[in-house]
Amino acid sequence: MNRAIAESGSPQQTGAALPVRRPRVLWIDLFRGLAVLVMIETHVVNTFLASGVRTEGWFSILNYINGLVAPSFLFISGFVQGMERGLTPTKPVNFARRARQLLNLLLIAYALHFPWTELGQHRWDDALRVGTQVDVLQCIAASLGLLLGLTWLARKFGGRREQEVWWTGLVALLGLSVFIAPYAAECHGLPVPLQGWVNRSTGSWFPLFSWAGFVFFGALAGAVYGLMRRAAEAPDSAPNGSPMFAFRRASSVFLFTPLPLAASAWAFRTTTYSVVSPASFFERAAWVLVLAAVCEWFVNRQRPALPLFAGKHSLALYVIHLVVISTIAGLGLPMNAIPLPNVLGGILVIGAASVGLTWLLDQARTFLGHLKSNRSHR
């Protein structure tokens, strides 16, 4: 994958009754879809926009907004897992299947970073460094792997102890990833493949410290959200009772609680504000909660097709848009040298091409699924 890209910033009824699969939570799809669409803009800008334009005042604001994309993406991946835990804490977990899924995600992530150029030029040290850099997909896979391991460990205790171990372990993972980050940033001398997971010294842009914290923070928020939904959906909950009222007002609570925090952090931030500092983490986490609340509020009034489609197919769209941008850059389009109007047009073209290819891939999968289903019924 191009380095400039990496630097930017998801019943049938039988004889015995089966549990009904819950419908997709649309606001999560909306949030995830908006995140991946803005990520396309971020990668195009970071790859092609002329360096001189980056010194203008408005670019710092755009850069700050773009800096919330990755935290949002990571937050959502953890939120979905946490929400499942909050809704159905005793639901059986197929640990082997989930581990295979995370391994596949990890393989996709490393495939996007395969050092073709470095290997072709026999720059072996650079090839090892580039090929083992940790990007957002690696961070998600490893963080969710730790969550899966925590769930497996908690299941060994059973009963009430299981819940205590899971919640305590999650808070511990969150605290470690956030508060150790400043010290991890100064850690050097580890083998290159391991060093990439610890800090940015080998070129990684999403090492576990403190980026994994957004996954764990999302899992914590999702578990609380799931508990609220479970209480609201309980048969004995009154229409105007406390659990239901709390769930209906969830957006307002999530919005107005973190908003003053985020605004205050923005007002008092300084030029020496370190990206690995706990203060930086909590500032961005507060804004992510605000965005989540806005999406939850908005999707109940409007259901925009494009972001919802992007959210449902976020992994495919993520991979495809990186391939499209890398292909264009590889064809010789100058990087960090394109005027702003041309970059704006490029965002539209590359975004449309990426969404179109994702749609074609989805149609192909659906078609092959129908063929397989028809053959199985013959």
Reported as a single tens digit per residue, the pLDDT across 335-355 is: 889 999 999 999 999 999 999
d(CA 242, CA 244): 6
242 lies in the same domain as 351: no
Does residue 334 share a domain with residue 224?
Answer: no
Boundary (domain end) residue, out of 228, 260, 275: 275
More confident residue, 31 or 378: 31
Longest CA pairwise span in the chain (Å): 69
Q: How does pLDDT run across 290-308, given as a tens digit for each residue?
A: 888 888 888 888 999 999 9
Q: Are residues 132 and 204 in the same domain?
A: yes
Over 60: is that where the pLDDT of 252 sits? no
Work out the pLDDT band at 265, boundaries 50, 70, 90: low
User: How high is the pLDDT of residue 192?
Assistant: 92
Rounded average pLDDT over 27-48: 95
User: What pLDDT was estimated at residue 16?
Assistant: 41
Side-chain half-sphere CA neighbours of 162 within 13 A: 14
Opening angle at CA 143, ends 63 and 190, nearest 5: 85
Please, which pLDDT band fits residue 9 given cuts at 50, 70 and 90? very low
Shared domain for 162 and 98, answered yes or no, is yes
The answer to whether residues 108 and 211 belong to one domain is: yes
More confident: 143 or 271: 143
Claim to verify: residue 270 and residue 180 sit in the same structural domain: yes
User: For position 233, what pLDDT does the model report?
Assistant: 72
Residues 6+ positions from 164 with CB-CB distance below 8 Å: 157
Range among 30-39, 241-250, 328-337 with highest mean pLDDT value? 30-39
Span of 38-42, 217-221, 235-239 with lowest mean pLDDT:
235-239
213 contacts 139 by C-beta, under 8 angstroms: no
The pLDDT > 70 percentage for the chain reads: 83
pLDDT of res. 20: 52
Residue ending a domain, choose from 275, 296, 323: 275
Report if residue 244 sits inside a domain.
Answer: yes
167 shares its domain with 98:
yes
Q: Label residue 260 by pLDDT band (50, 70, 90).
A: low
Domain shared by 220 and 77, yes or no: yes
Can you give the pLDDT at residue 270? 53
User: For the chain, how many structural domains are there in total?
Assistant: 2
My answer on whether 129 and 34 are in the same domain is no
Q: Could you tell me if 121 and 224 lie in one domain?
A: yes
Residue 266 confidence class, pLDDT cut points 50, 70, 90:
low
Domain that holds residue 156: 73-275
Question: For the residues 241-248, what does the mean pLDDT come to?
Answer: 38
User: Is position 159 within any domain?
Assistant: yes
The confidence score (pLDDT) of residue 80 equals 93
Nearest of 1, 5, 2, 3 to residue 44 by alpha carbon: 5
Of the chain, the percentage scoring pLDDT greater than 90 comes to 56
If you average pLDDT over residues 250-275, what whole number do you get? Answer: 57
> Who contacts 90 (Cβ-Cβ below 8 Å, separation ≥6)?
none
Q: What is the mean pLDDT of the chain?
A: 84
Domain membership of residue 284 (yes or no) is: no
- With respect to residue 1, please indicate whether it lies within any of the assigned structural domains: no
Of the pLDDT bands very low, low, confident and very high (cuts 50, 70, 90), residue 283 is: confident
Which pLDDT does position 196 carry in this prediction?
Answer: 93
Q: Is residue 81's pLDDT more than 80?
A: yes
In whole angstroms, what is the distance from residue 13 CA to residue 2 CA? 49
CA dihedral of residues 326, 140, 365, 28 (deg, nearest 10): -110
Alpha-carbon gap, residue 351 to 39, rounded angstroms: 10
299 in a domain, yes or no? no
Q: Assess if residue 298 is contained within a domain.
A: no
pLDDT at 364 over 80: yes
Burial status of residue 23 (CB atoms within 10 A of its CB: 0-12, 13-18, 19 or more): exposed
**What pLDDT does residue 327 have?**
92
- Would you state the pLDDT for residue 64? 87
**pLDDT tens column, 107-146:** 999 999 899 888 988 999 999 999 999 999 999 999 999 9
With bands split at pLDDT 50, 70 and 90, how would you rate the model's confidence at 105?
very high
Q: Do 199 and 266 belong together in one domain?
A: yes
Q: Do 114 and 208 share a structural domain? A: yes
